[in-house]
Each structure stands twice: as C-alpha cells, then as structure tokens.
Structure 1
Amino acid sequence: MSASILDIRTDPSRIDADEYVRELMRWHFRAETGCRFWLRRASALDFDPLTDVKGVADLVKFPHLIDEFRQAAVEDLVPRGLGPGAPIAGIYESSGTTGAPKRFVMFDEWLDAYLSWDDRLEQVAARSGPLNMLAVVPSGPHMFGEVTTRWARRCGGVKFTVDLDPRWVKTLIAQGRPGDADAYAEHIVEQAAHILRSQDVGVLATTPALLERFARYPELVGLINKSVRAIVWSGAQLDTDTRELLRSEVFPGIPLMGIYGSTTILGGTRERPDEDFHGAPIHDPFSPYLFFRVIDPDTGQEVEFGRRGRVVMSHLSKYALLPNNLERDMATRIKPPAGAIGSSVTEVGPVASFGGAPVIEGVY
C-alpha cells in the first residue's frame, strides 16, 4: 500500500481504517520515516507495532505514556519522513492542569487540514461576508490561540485578542485566593468589552466560564447580539441548562459552536449539527485521525453506547502518534457518524482529581 493513504483528507470516509493503522505503524516505527522518540521507545514496548498492530482494535496495546511528553525534546518528535524543514505552526503545551505541561509539535499541514475539516465559521462567512474575530482564549503556549488566528484569516477578517493566562487563575484558586481569581476574570472581560464597543466583531471565541461572565452584563449582551454571527466555545464543559439559556434567551439566533479537544491530540471536535443528547452537544472527532474511546475507569473496558465513562483520546497521523491518552474528563459514549472509527462523546465534564491532584478549571 502506498503511503499516500496517510495524506490527510477532509473526507476520509472511504479510508480502510485498519489498513490506515497498519501503514501508520510502518511510518512511525521504521528508521526511514519515524521520529527519534518512537524509534527509541519501541524497544521498551512489550509488543512489536510493526507486526502486532494489525488494525484499530490493536491500538489498545499501547500503554498510557503521555506523561513522557513532559520531558521529551521537541526535536525528537519530528518524523523523519516529513523531510527537512517541514513547516511547523508552533510548539504547543497542555494546560498544565494535572502537572508540568506536555509539549507537542504542530505542523502547518496538519493544522490546515484540521481547519479545512472544521469549516463551520467559513460557512458562516460565506453567507454573511468577511468576519472579524474577538478571541478571548489562551494563547502563547496554548494551541487555541493559533487556531483562532487562522480561523480569522479563513473568514476574511482580522483577529482581536485579549491576553488570557488560565494557569495563573488556576494558581490563584489553588492558593485559596478566589477573590483575586475573580478580579482577574473581570479584568479580562473589561478588555473584551472595550473591543466589542469599538470594533466590528463577527465571531466571538471564548471559554464557557467567560461566556457566562459576558452574559451578566446587559450592555455586552446587546453588543454581541448586534454584530456577532457565531460564538465558538471551547473548554471543560458547558452544562445543559446554561447552554439552553444562552441559546434561547441570552444570545438567541447566534449559533453556539462547541469544541471538545486537547493539545494531546493536536485538535478537537465539531459539534454535531441539529442533534443533541438530552440537550447536551454531541462532539464528533476528525476520524480516523482523532480517535476517542470511553472506558469504565475501574475495568478499563469500553462502555456501551449511552453509558458514561472516562475519555481516552488518540492522535493518529503521519505528523504525530499519540495513542491512548487517558483524559481528565468523563463523558457519555455516542455512536460516531457513519464511516468513522471510535466514538463520539457528550455530557463532558472533568473528574474531581487526576494523578492524585485536584482538577481546577478556572476560566477554562
């Protein structure tokens, strides 16, 4: 099979998933194409990826080793098969909620392909004309900042932004300083308010916690309803009652476009259009490249559709191999779209603790 099967497609429904996984193993575990991290790590595995991983079902053989990316040199994460000088969008880190951040390489080709798949905002811009974006999201080492920059370009507009450091808010909360955390969040809202008052904003991208703060101020609600054509939210969760209130009463007529993802899979989901689960959004991953399982936390076995369990995420592309990442979230397992592998998820919410430490979401 030609390695062309590994080229990212925005409609991969005709890809044989098992064949894709076998070719992916050959890419990441052969000296000519693999990265130093996986070529070195292979010797410590208790199976041979080249012979023992014959399809999607065998991916469970990989252990949960995402913590090793806290110390891995980014040079060791670049697959040789991409050739010298493959354009890199950035080096992005996990949020640091559960310990020292993990670092990953985001390649331009992958990010562009992912955004071509998630073209919801471009569809809005095609109907309404160019759209400027206000991104009140983590930037710097966080992937979401670059995603919103490229979204704004794809919508034919410019991006306005506000500095947001979610790690500082989490630190304040962990130190027992909720008042300081609240003051910081208000500082963020004040800066965003100035942009909304003075600029033409067609898309608002932010987190559920901050979106709820915007909703507290009638002036800001009026400004958003006047010009914003779409609201993109990404974060730990947006509970069903709040989501319904925002959609029907606070921002009626403005689509709320949810994303559930993680830097550990270098991407996220699309909210399934015109369908939900008892009022909760259904999140579909970019199959077969982003792959979800939902497991019983006690047995490690996958739960039935409609049942709740712990989320396990994988990134499967020629740009990175990040299998079986046990996330800090619980979710309900949902049947994926036709032709997709793995699962979709809904009713996502963080666990109380992870790795022996309490999970603090703060403004995210």
Structure 2
Amino acid sequence: MTVESAGQNNADSEAAARAALDAHTVETVQWHFHESTGSPFWLEKKRDLKFDPLTEVKSFEDLKKFPLFEDDWLRGGPVRRWVPKGLDGRPTYVFETGGTTGVPKSRVVIDDFRTDYELFSDTLPDEYFPKGGNWLMLGPSGPRRLRLAVEHLCQHRGGISFCIDLDPRWVVKLIKKGWMEHLEEYKKHCIDQAITILTAGHDIKCMFTTPKLLESLAYGLAEQGTSIQEIGITGIFSGGTEFTPQWTRFCVEELLGGPAEESGVYMTPTYGNTLMGLACSKPITAEDDYKIAYYAPQPRAVVEVVDFDDHHQVVPYQATGRVKLYTLTKEFFVPGFLERDEGEREAPFAKYPWDGVSGVRPYHAIASQTTVGVY
C-alpha cells in the first residue's frame, strides 16, 4: 500500500466515523427529547432551551447549542427523573459518580455498564486475558459502577470475579484529616484481602486495580516472597489519573517483570468514569516512551480537548486543553461536560479513527483542590 493510499484510507475511515457519530447523535437526541421516550429531566429542560432539539440538532456539532451539563444536577433525587420513558419498567441500577463528600452524585443505569464493558472486552488480548479466566476486582466497591462492571466483564469472558471491600470515601476522609497512619492501615487492610484471595487457590489470571493499589499489592506480595508474575496474574486492566508514562515504565520494569512478551504480564491503562464509560488506550510500548493515549468508545461517548477559555474550540493536535465529555446512549445524555482533567489532543489512528487524549492529569486550575485517594 502506498503512502497516498494509506492516507486516503485513513481519511475515509475518519469520514465514516464522523458520519456515524452525526447519525447517532441525531438518533440519541430524538430519543431523549421526544415526549414518548424522553426522560422527565430532559423533557423539563427542553422548555428552558432557546432552540428545539427535535428539529435543530442535525449533527454532532449541533450539540454545542446546549448549555454545559452541570454535574450538580446529579446530586439528590428523585433519581427516577433520569429514566427515559422508553425504558420505563426495566430493572434499574443507581451508581455514585465523582465526589467523595456531601450528597453523592448519582447516575441511573440499565444496561450501559454491560455494553461498555463488552465493547472493552473485544479490545483485550486473549493471550493475557484468557477466556474462562477468573478475575480479582481490587478497587472501589459499594454503590460504584466499577464493581458490577468488572464482574460483568469477567462473566462475559466466562470467568468468576472475586471482590474486596473498599470505601474510597473513607480513604479521602482519612487524607483530609491528616490521619496518614490510619490511611496506611486501611490500604494494608485492602491489600491483605487481595493477597488472601490470590493465595487461596482460585486460579485468578486477571485483575482490575488502580495504580496505587497495584504498587501496594506488588510490595505486599514481595514481603511474602512472591510477585504478581509468580502468583499467576497475566492480564491487568487498570485506570486512574496517576497512570503516567513515568509510573508505567516503573511498573512494567520493576513490578511486573518486564514487557509482556518477556514477563507474560500484560497491562492496559484505561480512562473512564460513570458518566462516559471506558476509553481504551493505544498499546503502550517502551519504543514510544510509554506514552498513554486514550480513545473514547464512539459513538456512545466522545472526548474532546478544548481551549481553557472557550470550550467550543478544540485545540490543535498535541496542544494542551481541558477534557470535554459527551455521553450519547439511550439511557443517558450528556451534551458536553467539562471534566476535572486536562491533557493533550491526539490524532486518530487506524483502530480508533477519531481524536484521543494523552497526558491526562487534574485540571491545573483546580488541581490543588483535588484529593486523589485510591485513584
């Protein structure tokens, strides 16, 4: 294939992805704003809009006509106002999202977490995430999406998921009170639970965890004369803003025993939340200095990197901006939300022919107010 033909193929893929996003956007808006299928929340909001979504949203760009989504809308109830009429009567979950103090922000979910993680499952290499393999969920439990989502991912792949108890609200409370000794003991309590499960003969091959907990687990296993590699883990799915190239290099070289082809342990970073779902990363390699670039699961969700002073303006490739999120499913509609993160805009590539984001970190203007607990 010539350079010219490869470039044309890329352009065609990007154009097709954009057309699919435009069509999906129109379909999603029609669903959420039609009297017969929309949610009480959006049908009520429709009265305050200065345009008619049913007739004036004809492409993804038209979402800029909406005001920014305010996450405080998710605080308090009744949560049923978020359930679309078209899905009324379906078994419904409520998950907490963001915020570790005050009234929790809640999102209702029916099947989105299953769909998101089934799509993610398709990106996992079976060599390291074997079908039928059991999993350990070493992360937040309770009313958080991650626990059920990882459990579904495991079951979807034919395995059984083992979980621990972990309350991130308590972790943040300990940090804010300066009770660091208590924090270390609580972290040790969580790691002790994980090691007990991993050494109980359950033949666990895969796991989800956060960077901080992965590091603590590696040290905890080392104290017992073993390692993540020796305990039998071959696939690790992890996520969090602390997933930096520097930490990834350290993790691969010092904690996992080297690159996957040498150690037999494969780690894939992800970026996501209860609003968006899960953005996958390009494969990380030493040759690329362990750079991590995330791509949202379009057309169900979109991530833009926008100008700090004008959220309608996408920054140039490789430039820095704030992360702006859109969620476009039948269960949940977010027409633009400014995340508490910033990063660099990444160009499309073959597997994901749409924009991505790299270098994700807390937004500089509020970074000092952000408490990072287990994430």
Do the two structures share a fold, i.e. TM-score over 0.5? yes
User: What one-letter code is carried by the residue in structure 1 that aligns with 2:283?
Assistant: P
Q: How does 1:164-203 map to 2 (within 5 A)?
A: 164-199=166-201, 200-203=203-206
Please list, as runs of the form range in 1=range in 2, the aligned pairs for 1:149-160 lying within 5 A after superposition.
149-160=151-162
Kindly indicate whether residue 239 of structure 2 is the aligned counterpart of residue 234 of structure 1: yes
Q: Is the 8 A contact 1:132 1:155 kept in 2?
A: no
2:80 corresponds to which residue?
Answer: 75
- The alignment status of 1:349 with 2:361, answered yes or no, reads yes
The aligned residue for residue 133 of structure 1 is: 135
1:270-308, Cα deviation, whole Å (9 max, x unpaired) = 122366964222111110111111112223322111111
**2:93 paired with 1:93:** no
Residues 131, 203 of structure 1: 8 Å contact kept: yes
Show the counterpart of 1:294: 305
Q: Does 1:327 align with 2:330?
A: no
What residue number does 1:317 align with?
Answer: 329
Aligned to 2:71: 66
Taking the aligned partners of 1:138 and 1:296, their CA distance within structure 2 comes to: 32
Aligned-residue offset at 1:336 = 3.1
- The answer to whether structure 1 residue 224 and structure 2 residue 228 are counterparts is yes
Q: SS at 2:207's partner residue? A: strand
User: Among 188, 213, 216, which residue is 1:213 paired with?
Assistant: 216
For 1:5, the equivalent position in structure 2 comes to: none
Deviation at 1:208, TM superposition (A): 0.9
User: Would the alpha carbon gap of residues 232 and 340 (structure 1) be closer, same or farther in structure 2, given more than 3 Å must change?
Assistant: closer
Q: How many Å apart are 1:210 and its aligned residue?
A: 0.7
Preserved contact between residue 21 and residue 298 of structure 2 (Cα < 8 Å): no
Q: Is the Cα contact below 8 Å between 1:94 and 1:142 reproduced in 2?
A: yes
Indicate whether 1:145 and 2:142 are aligned: no
Instruction: Tell me the distance in 2 between the aligned counterparts of 1:319 and 1:219.
Output: 46
In the alignment, what sits opposite 2:21? 17
Displacement of 1:121 in angstroms is 7.5
Aligned residues with identical type, % of pairs:
32
Compared CA separation, residues 285 and 277, structure 1 to 2 (3 A): farther
Query: Residue 258 of structure 1: SS of its match in structure 2?
Result: strand
Could you tell me which residue of structure 2 aligns to residue 259 of structure 1?
270
RMSD: 2.6
Give the distance between the partners of 1:19 and 1:339, measured in 2 at CA: 20
Deviation at 1:141, TM superposition (A): 1.3
**Does the 8 Å CA contact 2:134/2:160 hold for their aligned counterparts?**
yes
Q: Which of 269, 281, 287 matches 2:279?
A: 269
Say which SS state the counterpart of residue 222 (structure 1) adopts.
coil
Letter in 1 for 2:195: A
Determine the structure 2 residue equivalent to 1:6.
none
Secondary structure of the 2:228 match is: helix
* Structure 1 residues 247 and 220: CA distance shift in structure 2, 3 A: farther
Match of 1:283 among 285, 290, 294: 294
The 4+ residue runs of structure 1 with deviation greater than 6 A are none
C-alpha displacement of 1:186: 1.4
Matching residue within 220, 239, 252 for 1:247: 252
Aligned residue in 1 for 2:34: 30
Could you tell which deviates more after superposition, 95-104 or 180-189? 95-104
Are 1:244 and 1:279, in contact at CA under 8 Å, matched by a contact in 2?
yes
One-letter amino acid of the counterpart of residue 69, structure 1? L
**Does the CA contact (< 8 Å) of 1:66 and 1:322 recur in 2?**
no
Superimposed CA distance per residue, residues 127-184 of structure 1 (whole angstroms, 9 cap, x where no aligned partner): 7452111111112111100111112212322111110111111111112222222221
Contact kept in structure 1, 2:117 and 2:278, CA below 8 Å? no
